[in-house]
Each structure stands twice: as structure tokens, then as C-alpha cells.
Structure 1
Amino acid sequence: MEERRLMSSVVAKKLEMKERGAVRRMIETVRKKTVRNTWRKARVKMRRKKAVRKSRRTLHLKMDLKTPKSHRIFTEVGLERRRHPALSLFKNFPTIFGSWQDFHEVFQAYQVKTYQHFSKRMSTSVTVRNNQIKRAALRLKRQDKKQRKKEQFLPEEWG
């Protein structure tokens, strides 16, 4: 059946040719091409199957053992971040306060106790901060004290 189909397609191409050898050669080349293509397709399918099997094998390694569903993993990562706030990096420093006043009192005592003084920025506005720097420089000039460093303003793009 397949030979007839191949034969008819080849014969349609070579109607004028009456040589049997040329027709046979053409049939063989067409047959080789189809065999080659089927082997290529089979190889590609095998590669895809191997890749799928491999990804299924390593899938359990990517997922957390406690929660096998991936959408839960990301929320647990977020919870881990929330459980360890930045203030826990300071030793012997509480992380939860009743009010800001309580925080500032404890923070001031911590700075005195550890000899670590942190600069406090009262505003997030760049222009306000630059004005504070200018006023501090003017205060020093009024007291006839010299600055060691020239004042450096925050860039306006930061605001």
C-alpha cells in the first residue's frame, strides 16, 4: 500500500521518464527520507519523555516537605520574614512596644548602654533634611566653631 502511494507520487513527478532505474532510485530516496524523519520524531519524543520524567523526579526536592503545595511555600516564606523583625538583630532589645514613646525611651537607654549612637532622621523629605543640615552649619558658625567637613546635601532626586 505504502509502495503504491510512493510509486504514484514518484510516477506523477516522472511521467516523461521511462527509465525504471531512475524511478527506483527516486523511490528509494523518498523512502529513506521518510524513515529518517520518523526516527527523528521518535528521538524527539523520547527526549521529551525523559525530560518530563526527570522533572517529576526532582519535583519533590523543590517543594517543602511540610506543605506539598507550592502556593503555600511562598506564604510561609513571608511569615518567616514577619517572625524575625529587624530589631531582633540587636541583642537584648525587645521587638514589640506599646507606643512610640516607649520605643524611644528603651532605644535611648540601649544606645547609652552599648555606646552605639544612631542618627535619627525626623523627616523623609529631602528639602527638610537639607534645611536641617544648613541650620546646623549656621549654628556652628554663630558659636565661632569650625566644621571639620564641608556640609553635604542630599540629592534632590532622592525626594
Structure 2
Amino acid sequence: MTTTTFGYNAVQDRIWMRVHEQDSTVWFTRRMVISIFSTVLPSFEASTPGEQGGASPRARASIEHDLSLHEAAPGQSPPQIRAGHESPGAKSDPQQRLCQKISTQTNSQSVNMTFDTSSGPLIVRLSRKGMHLWFQGLAMVLKQARWNLPEALPEWLQSGVLPPAMQELIRKPLPDNLDDD
């Protein structure tokens, strides 16, 4: 299982991604993030299983995303998305590890991504569920970067990580009499 952490560095004005198993970090410019959402994401959506049902690739990806975030398969632990304060790691020179190109191989089971940097490639292999979590982590840190790229994100990636029932509870106004004994 691959674990990634995303962060934003305001001084560099770049997003970083740390792959814990490889103890390696890669940095993304705004232009590279736009490229991820305009090329990698549509390819991922297009490979979503279930086309025989007639739903569009985006609709299928939306359903798969919801299941990836909120359903645990038998014998598996639920997905974990956590917010916190972490550094990119010791081996994370923004100039040496700047992503120059991304190559992907996507199918109905998995995604292989190769991030080319001047210090060599970083290869990440993810299941479809893992890729949904990866996209969600990138979308979450994108909000922190305040690059205002919402047009690049599909609606299913902007919905948040809480289950719909919890989102409804949070949006519901609190009663006025909470302070009464």
C-alpha cells in the first residue's frame, strides 16, 4: 500500500507530494497541477469500469469516488485522509525534485504514475481506490494553495471527504436554545 502526503510551500508557491515508502518527495508547479487535472484525471475517469450501464465516465468516476472514500471492502480498513502539519522530508530539494513530466498508465484496476525530475524518476503505483484518495489529497491541498483552479476540478472531487449524511448534519443550523439549561 502506497502512502502519500501532500503539502503546500508558500515560499516556493509549489505543492509537494511525499511518497513515504520511498522516502522521496516531488514538487509541482501550478502549471503541472493544471496538467494533472486536465490530462491525467480525464484518462482516469475514462477508464472507470461500468460503461455498459450507459453512464458517462464522469458519473461513473463520481460513484466510484464516493465508494472509495466511504466504503471499506471486507477485510480491509477504511481509507484514511488526515489533515495536519508535516514537512516535505529531508530528501526534498525543490529544484532537484521538481516534476518536469508525468507519464501514466491507467486501466480499470490500477494507475501507474512516473514523475520525471532532474534527480531521476519517482514511480507510484496505486489501485483505483488509492488513486481516488490521491486525487482527493491533491484537491485538499490545492485549497490551501489558493490557486483558484476550481474549473480544473470535477464536482465529484470538490464534494469533501465526509459522507453525505455527515455533510447534511454540518450544514444544518444549530437550534437557538443550546445554551439553555
Please, what TM-score do these two structures have when normalized by structure 2?
Answer: 0.16
Larger radius of gyration: 1
Asked which structure has the greater RCO (Cα within 8 Å, sep 6+), the reply is 2
Please, what TM-score do these two structures have when normalized by structure 1?
Answer: 0.18
Considering fraction of residues, name the structure with more helix: 1
